[in-house]
With several copies, the nearest count.
Chain A
């Protein structure tokens, strides 16, 4: 299930949906939140822009790719856009599988690929004004490592 929305999500509801099947031994979830600092600068909030249409397409592609590599049952990806304040939830990734290794790997794969491929852009509201974030090399490295690992 893929949702791109302005409104907040409720982890309890998402978990209830994910944890509903007796075939699954493992439920792994990741939540990304607005953090109070980034590279040493105070953050007061975020403004998140995205490319409607393309975003959903890319997230669907990433989910499909994960399902090719691991035996997954349920997959939920939720990403918010618009203005978010400190501590707010930005993104939810939830994965279920009969096997815990698969659930962990797929959940991490999904967020790593989302970070480098889904058309979202963050603008941080800091004490020094609002600034568009630069892409991080560490994020590129993370998705590069998956490419190498999965092509082995």
Chain B
């Protein structure tokens, strides 16, 4: 299983802070993004945002990273702390 997390504006727009998905063959950060985008038009819109960021196991990465079972994948907008 893969744990997927959503933060800030995304979490609010999707009314979801986390969910679990099954690992599939050759799964990447982009595969997960596309899979989630297929949920409905809302998810399609949110998951296609230009500035969407993704972290795997708490490290920001790009859309080609391979996913392994047990990974924690997080989607969020650009950060605005400090």
Contact = CB atoms under 8 A, between A and B. Distances in A.
Interface of A: 32, 48-51, 53-54, 57, 79, 90-91, 111, 114-123, 132-136, 139
Interface of B: 5, 7-9, 11-12, 51, 55, 58-60, 74, 76-82
A91 B82 contact: yes
A54 B74 contact: yes
Overall SS of chain A's interface: mixed
Contacts of A50: 81
A23 B21 CA distance: 46
B28 to A, nearest CB: 20
Contacts of B8: 49, 121, 123, 132
A121 B77 CA distance: 8
Nearest to A90: B82
B9 A32 contact: no
Residue from the set B51, B60, B78, B79 with the largest chain A CB neighbour count within 10 Å: B79
Top 5 closest pairs, chain A to chain B, by CB: A120-B81, A121-B8, A135-B78, A54-B58, A115-B82
Contacts of A134: 78, 80
A114 B76 CA distance: 16
A114 B82 contact: yes
B76 A51 contact: yes
A66 to B, nearest CB: 15
B80 A133 contact: yes
Contacts of A120: 79-82
7 contacts: A51-B55, A51-B58, A57-B58, A90-B81, A121-B7, A121-B8, A135-B78
Contacts of B12: 132
A49 B7 contact: yes
